[in-house]
C-alpha cells in the first residue's frame, strides 16, 4: 500500500470502508477480495445518500409538492458506483482513499454488474431522465420491474450470437433497499361478478390468482443537487410458501409449481425491442407493474391528502414510457371506482388529467395489440372498463368523424379482436409526445393524424437528450477537465454554456490537447479489443463505430456491404491510397429475429476474411465487440472518430447514441433521421456528413413497387453488384455458400415482392461517396479536429437537462424543491 497523505474527511471515509469490509465480510483489508472492496465502497456511498435522503424526504413532504411517476418497463441504469460518487462530488476523495488502500477506483468500479434492465434507447432514456430530474431538484419516482434476469448476455461463437442469462443480482445488489412492509396484492384471471350493494355496483372476484408485489427502492442522487429521488423496482412473490392443499395430498411438485408461476412474472426482461408478440406473460408483467404502482400512488396520496381525490392531478402526474404501461389507464379507473367509490364520470375526469404518453417508434411491428380472448381471460375486470371506454370512444367518433367506418376502426380501442394500446393513450392522455422534431411530425401528419386533427394542443415535440454526468464527465474525465480549463465549470450544470467552447475549435493548442485525449481513449479501446477479440488494431487508423441494437432499419447491413466494397477495391487497385480504418460494431439482436442474427454472422464472417488477409497489409480491420451494453458504450463513445447513424430515414424515432458520440467529439455520418436532423441544425452542415434519401422520399418509394429501381441499381453499380454476388458465390464462406442467401434475397427480391424496403441498395452509392469524403478529411488534421471540437461545443442542446426542462414546462409542471 502506498503511503498517501489523506485529509481528515478522506481518513474518515477510509475508516468507513475498512469498517464495512470487517463488519460485512469479517475480513481485514489485507484479506479482502476486490469484490468485497467494491461492496464496501458502494455501501459507504449508499450511507451518504441515505443521510441525504432523510433530509430530502422531509422537505418533499413539507412542501406537499406534485410528483412525477415515470412508468417504464425498462431502466437501463448500467453501473452506479462512479456516477453516484460523481454526483455526490466525491470522486477525488474515493480515488485517494482507494489508492491509499492499494486499489484504483476504476478497477473496483468495473466489478459491479451492469443493471441491464432494458433493451436499448427507451430504457437508457429513462435512466438519463431520472438523473436529470434529480439534478434539477424535481421530485420524481422511476417505477419498473425488478427483473431477476436483465437483458441476455451475448457471446459470439463461430460468428453467431449465443444468448446467456444475465443473473445480475447473483452477488447481491448494494444499492437496493427491500420494503416488504409496502407489499401489495395484484389479482389475475378468474370470474368477476357484479353485485348491487349499498346503492352501487360492486365487483366480486372468484377463482382469481393473487400475486404479491414487493418493492425494492434504489435511492438516486443528482449532480450537486439537494434532493434524493428513487427508482422503485417491483418483485413478484407468491402469497403462499407453497400450496398446502396440494402438499397435503402428497403432490409436492404441484405445490411448489404454483409458487413459481407467480414468481415467474418478474423473472426476465423481454429481449425484443421495436417489436411485439402477444405473449401472455408479458401482459401479466404489464398489469403487475401498473397495478402495484398505482396502488402505491393512491395509498401515498390518501395518506397525505385524505380522500380529496379531485386534488390528484395537482399532486401527481404519470408519464407512460411508450404504450407498455398503458394498462395504468383502465387500472386507475378500476381503483378509483371499485376501491375508492367514485363514479365513472368523476374517475374519467381525473384519469384524463393524470396521464401523459411518449411514443418511441413508428415501426408498425412495434404497435402493441393484445388478442381479445387473452385480454379478457387475464384481466376480466379491466376488460369491462376497456370495453366501456371503447363504447364511449366510438360514440364520440361517430360525432366528430361521421360516416367514416374505416377511420373508426383505425382509431378504436377494440377492433379486429384486438385491444390497441396506442389508441387507449391517444383517447385518454392529456399530453402526447414524440422524441424528436421529425418523429413528432410523422406522428401528427401520418400515424396519429386523425387524433391530432381533433385536438392538436395535446401533441408535443420533445427531443431526447442524454445525461452529461455519465456520457462525458464519468466516461471521459480528461475531456471534461480540458473543457472546464477553458470555459469554467458552469457548463456542467448549465448545458447552454458548452457553446463557449466554439472559439477554441480552431485553436491549435486546444486541438492538440483534444487530439491527445481522443488518442489515449483509442489506445484504451485498442487494448480492450486485443484482450477480448485478440485482434491488433492501430490507434492511428480511423475508428468508425456503429453501436446500437441490431435491426434492419438501422442498416448495419449497409455498413458491412460498404466495408466489403472497400476491401475489394484494395485488392483490385494496388494504387488505391487508402486511409487505414478500424470498423467497430457492437449490437445485440433479439433472440427470435433470425435475419438480424444472420447480419451478425455476416459481419463476423467479413471481419475474419479481412482481418486475416495479409494482402491488404492490415489497412482495414473489422471488429465485433461482444455483449454491448451501457458499460461498453462508455468505452466506445469516447474513442470513436466516426459515428454511424445510418438508419433508413423516417424509421429511427430519435436515436440517443448519436448524441453521445457527438458530445465526445466524433463526426457523424448519417441520414436525415430522428435527432440527426437537429444535430445538423446545431452543428451546421459543414460539420456533419449527411447522405441518402430523406424521409418523404423513402415514404413514396415504400408505397410504390421499387423493383425496377432495384434492378437498375444492380445492373449499373458494379461495385455493389460484386458485393451482392459475394453473398452467395461462396467467396465469404466456402464451406457453406448459401448461408447469406436470405440477405441477398431480401435485398434484391424482397419477402412479399417488395425488395430492399430499408433502401440499403438505394443509399449505397451516396454512403460510399460520403465515407470517401470523410477518409480524405481525416488526413487534414486541423480541419478534422476543428469539426470534432465543434461537435462537442454544439452538443449542449442534447443534454437531458434541456429535455427534462421542456417536459416540465409543457407537461408535468413540477416545482423544484427549495
Ligand atoms: C413491447 C411489447 C412486448 C415486448 C417488447 C416490447 C418493446 C420493448 C422495447 C417494444 C419496444 C421497445 C423499445 C423501443 C425503443 O428503444 N425505441 C427507441 O427509443 C429511443 C428513445 O426514445 C429512441 O431514441 C430510438 O430511436 C427508438 O428506437
| Residue among 599, 631, 649, 597 at smallest CA distance from 758 | 649
User: Stretch 322-350: mean pLDDT, rounded?
Assistant: 98
**Which pLDDT does position 432 carry in this prediction?**
98
Which residue do the cell numbers 463476423 mark? 604
| Percent of the chain predicted with pLDDT > 90 | 90
Test site for ligand 1: of 75, 122, 462, 630, most ligand atoms within 8 A of the Cβ = 122
Residue 1, pLDDT > 60, answer no
Q: Which residue, judged by its Cα, is nearest atom 1 of ligand 1?
A: 276
pLDDT of 280 over the 60 cut: yes
pTM of the model: 0.97
Q: What percent of the chain has pLDDT above 70?
A: 99
Decide: 111 and 497 in contact? Cβ < 8 Å.
no
**Pairwise CA distance, residues 502 & 473, whole Å:** 19
**Cα of 648 from ligand 1 centre, angstroms:** 16
Contact yes or no for 212/239 (Cβ under 8 A): yes
**Dist. CA 797–CA 678, nearest whole Å:** 9
| pLDDT of 3 over the 90 cut | no
**Residue whose CA is at the smallest distance from ligand 1 atom 4:** 276
203: helix, coil or strand? strand
Q: Across residues 812-817, what is the average pLDDT? A: 96
What integer is the mean pLDDT of 722-731? 97
CA distance 626 to 581: 20
What secondary structure letter does DSSP report for 550? -
Centroid of ligand 1 to alpha carbon of 647 (angstroms) = 15
Q: What is the pLDDT of residue 260?
A: 81
Mutate to test the pocket of ligand 1, among 322, 432, 439 (most ligand atoms within 8 A of CB): 322
Q: Which cell numbers in the block locate residue 809?
A: 414546462
> What is the CB < 6 Å shell around ligand 1?
119-122, 125, 270, 272-274, 276, 282, 324, 360-361, 366, 368, 435, 464, 652-656, 674
Q: Nearest-CA neighbor of 445 among 521, 362, 383?
A: 362
Residue 568: C-alpha distances to residues 417, 614, 620 (Å) = 52, 14, 11
Nearest-CA residue for atom 7 of ligand 1? 273
Of 140-144, 623-627, 747-751, the poorest mean pLDDT is in 747-751
Q: Which of 274, 547, 657 to mutate to test the pocket of ligand 1 (most atoms within 8 A of CB)?
A: 274
Ligand 1 centroid from CA 122, angstroms: 5
Rg (CA), the chain: 28
- Beta-bridged to residue 621, according to DSSP, are 582
- Which phi and psi (to 5°) does residue 692 adopt? 90, 180
The Cβ-side half-sphere exposure at 108, using a 13 Å CA radius, reads 25
| The pLDDT of residue 58 | 80
Catalytic residues: 360, 548-549, 554, 656, 660
Pairing of strands 542-547, 459-461: unpaired
Question: How far apart are alpha carbons 99 and 96 in whole angstroms?
Answer: 5
Determine the 3-state secondary structure of 189 from DSSP. coil
DSSP annotation of 249: T
Residue 63: pLDDT above 90? no
Total residues found in the chain within this entry: 818
State how far the Cα of 390 lies from the Cα of 417, in Å rounded to an integer: 13
360 CA → ligand 1 middle, Å: 6
Residues of 198-222 as b/e, b for ≥16 C-beta within 10 angstroms?
eeeeebebeeebebbbbbbbbbbbb
Distance (Å, whole) CA 787 – CA 781: 10
* 117, 121, 659: residue to mutate for ligand 1 pocket, most atoms within 8 A of CB: 121
| CA–centroid distance, residue 440 to ligand 1 (Å) | 16
- Measured CA to CA, the distance from residue 108 to residue 43 in angstroms comes to 13
Closest atom of ligand 1 to 435 CA is 22
Please report the pLDDT score of residue 542 as a whole number: 98
Mutate to test the pocket of ligand 1, among 273, 442, 467 (most ligand atoms within 8 A of CB): 273
pLDDT tops 60 at residue 2: no
* Residue 438 host element (H or E): helix 437-442
DSSP H or E segment with residue 243:
none
The pick from 361, 362, 363, 804 for probing ligand 1's pocket by mutation, whose C-beta has the most ligand atoms within 8 angstroms, reads: 361
Q: Grid cell 488526413 — which residue?
A: 779
DSSP strand pairing (355-358 vs 369-371) = unpaired
pLDDT score recorded for residue 756: 95
Please tell me the predicted confidence (pLDDT) of residue 595: 98
Please say if the pLDDT value at position 115 is more than 70. Answer: yes
CA distance linking residue 79 with residue 166, whole number of Å: 14
Query: Is the pLDDT reported for residue 246 higher than 80?
Result: no
Task: Please tell me the distance between residue 120's alpha carbon and the centre of ligand 1 in angstroms.
Answer: 7
Q: Take residue 388 and report the three cell numbers written for it.
A: 366501456
pLDDT band at 54 (very low <50, low <70, confident <90, very high): confident
Q: Which is the closest atom of ligand 1 to the Cα of 279?
A: 3
Which numbered atom of ligand 1 lies nearest the CA of 120?
A: 16
For residue 656, the ligand 1 atom closest to its alpha carbon is 24
What string of H, E and C letters represents the secondary structure of 618-662?
A: CCEEEEECCCCCHHHHHHHHCCCCEEEECCCCCCCCCCCHHHHHH
**Dihedral angle of Cα 741, 746, 752, 753, to the nearest 10 degrees:** -100
State the pLDDT at residue 199: 80
Cα angle, residue 279 at apex, residues 274 and 285 outer, rounded to 5°: 90
Nearest residue by C-alpha to atom 3 in ligand 1:
276
Q: Which long-range contacts (CB under 8 A, 24 or more apart) does 404-410 make?
A: 407/450, 410/450
**Position in ligand 1 atom list of the atom nearest CA 363:** 28
The atom number, within ligand 1, closest to the CA of 272 reads 5
Higher-pLDDT residue of 764, 194:
764
- Predicted confidence at residue 137, as pLDDT, reads 96
74 CA from centroid of ligand 1 (Å): 9
Question: Which residue has 401528427 as its cell numbers?
Answer: 444
Segment 162-196, tens digit of pLDDT: 999 999 999 999 999 999 999 999 999 999 999 98
The CA 679 to ligand 1 mean position distance, Å, reads: 21
Where residue 427 falls among pLDDT bands split at 50, 70, 90?
very high
The overall average pLDDT reported for the chain is 96
Band of pLDDT at residue 277, cut at 50, 70 and 90: confident
Find residue 268's DSSP bridge partners.
149
Would you say 624 and 600 are in contact if contact means Cβ atoms under 8 Å apart? yes
Relative to beta strand 542-547, strand 642-645 is parallel
Q: Which residues of 545-579 are buried (b: 16+ CB within 10 A; e: fewer)?
A: bbbbbbbbbbbbbbbbbbbbbbbeebeeeeeeeee
pLDDT for 65:
93
Nearest residue to 671 (alpha-carbon basis) of 661, 658, 684: 658
DSSP secondary structure, 271-301, as one string: --SS-----HHHHHHHHHHHHHHHHHHHHHH
All residues at 6 or more sequence positions from 677 whose CB lies less than 8 Å from its CB, including other chains: 436, 437, 438
pLDDT band at 733 (very low <50, low <70, confident <90, very high): very high
CA of 631 to the centre of ligand 1 (A): 20
pLDDT tens-digit profile of 641-657?
A: 999 999 999 999 999 99
Strands (E), 367-508: 369-371, 414-415, 418-420, 431-434, 459-461
Summarised one tens digit per residue, pLDDT across range 121-130 is 999 999 999 9
Pick the more confident residue, 255 or 283: 283
Strand ranges inside 467-574, DSSP E: 542-547
Q: From the CA of 123, give the closest atom in ligand 1.
A: 16
All cell numbers assigned to 745: 434475397
Atom of ligand 1 nearest to the CA of 674: 26
> Measured over all CA atoms, what is the biggest interatomic distance in the chain, rounded to whole angstroms?
91
Q: Which residues of 45-56 are buried (b: 16+ CB within 10 A; e: fewer)?
A: bbebbeebbeeb
Tell how far the Cα of 653 is from the centroid of ligand 1, in angstroms.
9
Dihedral angle computed from the Cα positions of residues 115, 121, 123 and 128, in that order, rounded to the nearest 10 degrees: 80
163: left (phi over 0), alpha (psi -120 to 50) or beta: beta
Cα(14) to ligand 1 centroid in Å equals 43
Beta strands at 184-188 and 209-221: parallel, antiparallel or unpaired = antiparallel
Helix (H, G, I), strand (E, B) or coil at 310: helix
CA distance 92 to 246: 59
pLDDT tens-digit map of 703-723:
776 788 899 999 999 999 999
Strand partners of residue 670: 645, 690
Q: Please compute the mean of the pLDDT values over residues 254-263 and round it to a whole number.
A: 79
Ligand 1 atom closest to the Cα of residue 277 is: 3
Q: How many CB atoms lie within 10 A of CB 640?
A: 26
**Residue of 782, 788, 248, 771 whose CA lies nearest to 476:** 788
pLDDT score at 242: 66
Which pLDDT tens digit goes with each residue over 493-537?
999 999 999 999 999 999 999 999 999 999 999 999 999 999 999
Q: Cell digits for 182?
A: 409496502
Give the mean pLDDT of 353-379. Answer: 96
Q: Taking 80 as the threshold, does the pLDDT of residue 61 lie above it? A: no
CA–CA dist 314, 562 (Å, integer): 55
CA distance to 222, 557, 621, 791, per residue, from 563 (Å) = 42, 10, 10, 25
Q: What are phi and psi of 327, to 5 degrees?
A: -55, -15
Sequence-separated (6 or more) residues with CB below 8 Å from residue 235: 145, 146, 148, 213, 214, 215, 216, 266
The alpha carbon of 671 and the centre of ligand 1 are apart by a number of angstroms equal to 20
Amino acid at each position: 500500500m502506498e503511503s498517501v497523505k489523506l485529509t481528515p474527511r478522506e481518513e474518515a471515509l477510509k475508516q468507513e470502508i475498512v469498517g464495512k469490509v470487517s463488519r460485512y465480510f469479517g475480513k481485514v483489508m489485507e484479506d479482502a477480495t476486490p469484490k468485497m472492496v467494491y461492496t464496501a465502497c458502494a455501501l459507504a456511498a449508499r450511507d451518504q445518500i441515505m443521510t441525504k435522503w432523510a433530509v430530502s424526504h422531509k422537505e418533499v413532504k413539507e412542501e406537499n409538492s406534485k410528483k412525477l411517476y415515470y412508468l417504464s418497463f425498462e431502466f437501463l441504469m448500467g453501473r452506479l458506483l462512479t456516477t453516484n460518487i460523481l454526483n455526490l462530488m466525491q470522486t477525488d476523495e474515493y480515488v485517494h482513499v482507494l489508492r491509499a488502500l492499494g486499489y484504483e477506483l476504476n478497477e473496483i468500479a468495473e466489478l459491479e454488474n451492469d443493471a441491464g434492465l432494458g433493451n436499448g434507447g427507451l430504457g437508457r432514456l429513462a435512466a438519463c431522465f431520472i438523473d436529470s430530474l434529480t439534478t434539477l431538484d424535481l421530485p420524481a419516482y422511476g417505477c419498473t420491474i425488478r427483473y431477476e434476469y436483465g437483458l441476455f448476455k451475448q457471446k459470439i461463437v463461430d460468428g453467431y450470437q449465443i444468448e446467456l442469462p444475465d443473473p445480475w443480482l447473483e452477488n447481491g445488489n448494494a444499492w437496493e433497499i427491500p420494503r416488504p412492509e409496502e407489499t401489495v396484492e395484484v389479482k389475475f384471471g378468474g370470474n368477476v361478478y357484479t353485485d348491487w350493494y349499498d346503492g352501487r355496483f360492486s365487483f366480486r372476484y372468484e377463482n382469481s390468482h393473487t400475486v404479491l408485489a414487493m418493492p425494492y427502492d434504489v435511492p438516486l442522487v443528482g449532480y450537486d443537487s439537494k434532493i434524493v429521488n428513487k427508482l422503485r423496482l417491483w418483485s413478484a412473490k407468491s402469497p403462499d410458501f407453497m400450496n398446502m392443499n396440494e402438499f397435503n395430498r402428497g403432490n409436492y411438485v404441484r405445490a411448489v409449481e404454483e409458487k413459481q408461476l407467480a414468481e415467474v412474472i418478474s423473472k426476465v426482461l423481454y429481449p425484443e425491442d421495436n417489436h411485439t408478440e402477444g405473449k401472455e406473460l408479458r401482459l401479466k408483467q404489464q398489469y403487475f407493474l401498473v397495478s402495484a404502482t398505482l396502488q402505491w400512488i393512491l395509498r401515498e396520496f390518501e395518506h397525505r391528502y385524505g380522500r380529496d381525490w379531485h386534488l390528484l392531478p395537482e399532486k401527481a402526474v404519470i408519464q407512460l414510457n411508450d404504450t407498455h404501461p398503458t394498462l395504468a389507464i383502465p387500472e386507475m379507473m378500476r381503483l378509483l371506482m371499485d376501491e375508492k367509490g367514485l363514479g365513472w364520470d368523476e374517475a374519467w375526469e381525473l384519469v384524463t388529467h393524470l396521464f401523459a404518453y411518449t411514443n418511441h417508434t413508428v415501426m408498425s411491428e412495434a404497435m402493441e395489440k393484445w388478442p381479445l380472448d387473452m385480454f379478457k381471460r387475464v384481466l376480466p375486470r379491466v376488460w369491462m372498463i376497456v370495453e366501456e371506454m371503447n363504447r364511449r370512444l366510438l360514440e364520440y367518433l361517430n360525432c366528430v368523424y361521421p360516416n367514416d367506418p374505416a377511420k373508426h376502426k383505425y382509431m378504436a380501442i377494440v377492433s379486429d379482436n384486438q385491444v390497441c394500446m396506442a389508441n387507449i393513450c391517444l383517447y385518454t392522455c392529456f399530453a402526447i409526445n414524440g422524441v424528436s422534431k421529425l418523429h413528432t411530425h410523422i406522428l401528427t401528419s401520418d400515424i396519429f393524424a386523425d387524433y391530432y386533427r381533433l385536438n392538436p394542443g395535446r401533441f408535443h415535440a420533445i427531443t431526447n437528450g442524454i445525461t452529461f454526468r455519465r456520457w462525458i464527465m464519468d466516461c471521459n474525465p480528461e475531456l471534461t477537465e480540458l473543457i472546464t480549463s477553458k470555459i469554467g465549470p458552469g457548463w456542467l450544470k448549465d448545458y447552454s454554456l458548452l457553446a463557449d467552447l466554439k472559439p477554441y475549435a480552431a485553436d491549435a493548442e486546444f486541438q492538440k490537447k483534444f487530439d491527445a485525449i481522443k488518442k489515449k481513449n483509442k489506445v484504451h479501446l485498442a487494448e480492450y479489443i486485443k484482450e477480448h477479440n485478440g485482434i491488433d488494431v492501430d490507434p492511428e487508423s480511423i475508428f468508425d463505430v456503429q453501436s446500437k441494437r441490431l435491426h434492419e432499419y438501422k442498416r448495419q447491413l449497409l455498413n458491412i456491404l460498404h466495408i466489403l466494397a472497400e476491401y475489394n477495391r484494395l485488392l483490385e487497385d494496388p494504387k488505391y491510397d487508402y486511409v487505414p480504418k478500424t470498423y467497430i460494431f457492437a449490437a445485440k439482436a433479439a433472440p427470435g429475429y433470425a435475419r438480424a442474427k444472420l447480419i451478425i454472422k455476416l459481419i463476423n464472417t467479413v471481419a475474419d476474411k479481412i482481418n486475416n488477409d495479409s494482402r491488404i497489409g492490415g489497412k482495414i480491420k473489422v471488429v465485433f465487440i461482444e455483449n454491448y451494453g451501457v458499460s461498453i458504450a462508455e468505452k466506445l463513445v469516447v474513442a470513436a472518430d466516426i459515428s454511424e447513424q445510418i438508419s433508413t430515414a423516417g424509421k429511427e424515432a430519435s436515436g440517443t447514441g448519436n448524441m453521445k458520440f457527438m458530445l465526445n467529439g466524433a463526426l457523424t455520418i448519417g441520414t436525415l433521421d430522428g435527432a440527426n436532423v437537429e444535430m445538423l441544425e446545431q452543428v451546421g452542415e459543414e460539420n456533419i456528413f449527411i447522405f441518402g434519401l430523406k424521409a418523404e422520399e423513402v415514404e413514396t418509394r415504400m408505397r410504390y413497387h421499387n423493383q425496377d429501381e432495384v434492378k437498375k441499381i444492380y445492373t449499373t453499380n458494379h461495385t455493389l453488384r460484386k458485393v451482392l454476388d459475394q453473398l452467395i458465390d461462396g467467396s465469404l464462406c466456402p464451406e457453406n455458400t448459401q448461408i447469406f442467401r436470405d440477405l441477398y434475397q431480401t435485398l434484391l427480391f424482397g419477402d412479399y415482392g417488395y425488395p430492399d424496403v430499408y433502401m440499403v441498395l438505394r443509399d449505397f452509392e451516396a454512403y460510399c461517396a460520403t465515407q470517401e469524403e470523410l477518409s480524405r478529411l481525416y488526413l487534414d488534421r486541423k480541419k478534422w479536429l476543428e469539426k470534432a471540437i465543434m461537435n462537442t461545443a454544439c452538443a449542449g442542446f442534447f443534454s437531458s437537462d434541456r429535455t427534462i426542462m421542456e417536459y416540465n414546462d409543457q407537461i408535468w409542471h413540477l416545482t423544484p424543491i427549495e
